[in-house]
Amino acid sequence: MRIIAELPHPEFKISILNMNRKFIVKIEQGSYEQTYKIAEADLLDGVNSVFELLDEEFLKTVAARFTAMRSDFKQTYSRYNY
């Protein structure tokens, strides 16, 4: 697996990796991570198509999902009083 691109973003670290004829989009925020795998054959213009997929609307849903992930973890963590 190798990193082929990193996209600047004010809220996330976005890395695009390539492995086994798939693009892997890894989006990180703090200790949380979301990963999306896309077959190279499903894209017309290689990694440039991946850039197009990462539009503002998609990144808004990613941000909302990170918020939900933090909330879910806080709730489960507090149930065990650590």
Question: pTM higher than 0.85 for the full model?
Answer: yes
Question: Considering the chain, what is the average pLDDT of its residues?
Answer: 95
- Residues ≥6 apart with Cβ < 8 Å to 8: 14
Question: In what helix (H) or strand (E) does residue 24 lie, and over which residues does it extend?
Answer: strand 22-29
Work out the average pLDDT over 13-33. Answer: 97
Tell me what pLDDT residue 82 has: 62
Main-chain phi, psi angles of 36, to 5 degrees: -130, 130
Closest listed residue to residue 68, CA positions, set 34, 18, 25, 21? 34
Q: Which two structure tokens, joined as six digits, stand for 67? A: 């918020």
Of residues 1 and 3, which shows the higher confidence score? 3
